Every structure is written in structure tokens, then in C-alpha cells.
Amino acid sequence: MTAGGANGAGAVDASLASDPLARLSINQATLKQWSLPELAMGCAESGIRAVALWRGPVQAYGVERAAALMRDSGLAVTSLCRGGFFTAADPARRAAALDDNRSAIDEAAALGTGTLVLVSGGLPEGDRHIGAARERVADAIAELAPYAAERDVRLAIEPLHPMYASDRCVVSTLGQALDIAERFPAEQVGVVVDTYHIWWDDLAPAQIVRAGVGGRIACFQLADWVTPLPEGVLLGRGQLGDGCVDLRGFREQVDAAGYRGAVEVEIFNPALWARDGREVLAEIAGRYLRHAA
């Protein structure tokens, strides 16, 4: 990683540039029906060379064991999801959240990924001060960033769609994420560009340029926007090409901004989880080539 930060630190092997799937990374949450060994085997068989993992299933399988499995399967781990949820004002809860994030950083380091995705957390019960909660996000990152940097892990602030602002993530736009990230060295704190969360924002294109200039694009994720949204609005992401997001347009924007890392597909969708994993993976690869690559 350069001193000035980088766009896509977990960069793709240049020797694979002629492979159209070289940049594709499958986020584990997209194929929830699969165990880690099934994911590793499925990706390897499909010519996919990278995955993004989640803490829960990695912990259940064993962190070192998961790291070995991915290594032995020839799979890069492009990011670990997720740290964050550090908006508590209560000191004990805040300390617990910071401890948990240090564990997440350790796990990312053990998995060999340079990127820990941060979902910052929502408003505490009864709290009406979202600005103050955002400041607590910055405070938490100030405590965690040096610890992460010592372990070669970059914190990646993910803005989530504003519909999650109260209960999941008070950081709602790429502009807000960069306002926080830019208080820290670029090699320590970056941002996530996820099409699902920012597609509606007319300011996003300029913020992608800002992120690229600063070497802040740590991770790029694809999902499509479809309606109607389900109750709770968490599991309504669309398969690539099923919705209204100009996926290729965003991929071209991050590339133009200097991003050279993986393109992660992260779709939370029970309809995909109910199907045969191999069939879903083949469909994703096809959709990726058609709509984004």
C-alpha cells in the first residue's frame, strides 16, 4: 500500500487482465445457502478467484481454518464484513463495541484481507441527534485506525442507503463517509462504493471522483435496486440487471477515478438463497459480464 492510500488495495493480479472474470469477487452473503467449503469449491470450479467473507460464518468455521481453506482454494479475500456498530453513547456499550472491532480487525488480518468494511450503526434508542451519532463514528474510527494499520488492515466506511439511517448506519452518503474518512490517513481509512446504497444520489458521481483523487476507494460492491421493498427493507436487493441501477456506469466511474480493485457482488435476497448455489453463481457471472464488466 502506498503512503498516499490506494484505490482498491486488494488489487487484482495484473496477469489475469485478459480474464473477464478476473475482478469479480463473490460476497458470501449472496450465497448464504452455501457453507464456506461449498463457497470455496463453487468459486474455484467457476473460475472465480475472489470472495468477500462475513465474520459470523468465518468464526463458526474457525478463522485460521477459513483462511487456510481460501488460500488452498486459490481464492483472495477482498474484504471482511463487517466492523462498526459503534454509535452507542453509553460508555460500557461503546467500550464493548470497540473491543469487538479490534477482534474484527484481527480476523481480517488472519484472513489476509486488507479491507474491513464498517457499517457504522444507527441511533441509540430515544436519540434524536444524528449529527452527534456521526461524530461518535469518527471518534471510534480514531481509536481503531492505528490498531488496524499496525495489522495492515484498512477500515472502509460504508455509507448505507438513507432508509437505514436510524437503525443500521447513520452514514448515508458517500459525501458523509468521505467527510469522516478524510480526517485520517488514506492508507488507514477508505470508503465503500456500493451501488445499492448510492445509486439515487445526484452527488455520488462527484464524490466518487473525490474518493478516487484521495485514494479512498477501498471497496466496490454491486447490487441492483428493485421494488417493492420487503418489510424491514434488509433483504430486498436485486440480482444484477433486474433493477434500475446503471451498474456499468458506476463501474466505469470508479475505474475512471483510479480504482483497480475487485468488483464484489453483494446481494441479500432470499429468492437467490432458495436456489441451487451453482446455478445462482453462474447467473451472477453472466449478469456481471452483461451489465457491469
Positions touching a second copy (CB under 8 A) are 123, 127-131, 134, 161-163, 165-167, 172-173, 175-176, 199-203, 225, 227-233, 243-246, 249
**CA dihedral for 161, 162, 163, 164, sign (positive or negative):** positive
Question: Which residue's CB is nearer to a second copy, number 25 or number 172?
Answer: 172
Distances (CA, A) of 178 to 137, 165, 190, 209, 291: 12, 16, 8, 11, 27
CB of 105 to a second copy, least distance (A): 27
> What does the block give as the cell for 77?
479475500
* CB atoms closer than 10 angstroms to residue 236: 20
Question: Which residue's CB is nearer to a second copy, number 2 or number 227?
Answer: 227
H helix runs in the chain, sequence order: 36-45, 55-61, 63-72, 91-111, 130-150, 174-181, 195-198, 204-213, 247-256, 270-273, 277-291
Smallest Cα–Cα separation from 274: which of 222, 246, 239, 224? 239
CB of 251 to a second copy, least distance (A): 13
CB of 206 to a second copy, least distance (A): 12
Question: Which residue's CB is nearer to a second copy, number 15 or number 128?
Answer: 128
CB of 125 to a second copy, least distance (A): 9
Smallest Cα–Cα separation from 13: which of 24, 29, 27, 28? 24
Question: Which residue's CB is nearer to a second copy, number 1 or number 235?
Answer: 235
Question: Which residue's CB is nearer to a second copy, number 33 or number 166?
Answer: 166
CB of 130 to a second copy, least distance (A): 7
Angstrom distance (rounded) from CA 63 to CA 137: 27
Question: Which residue's CB is nearer to a second copy, number 100 or number 201?
Answer: 201
3-state secondary structure of 236: coil
Question: Which residue's CB is nearer to a second copy, number 247 or number 272?
Answer: 247
CB of 28 to a second copy, least distance (A): 24
Q: Which amino acid appears at position 239 of this protein?
A: Q
CB of 267 to a second copy, least distance (A): 16
> What does the block give as the cell for 234?
434488509
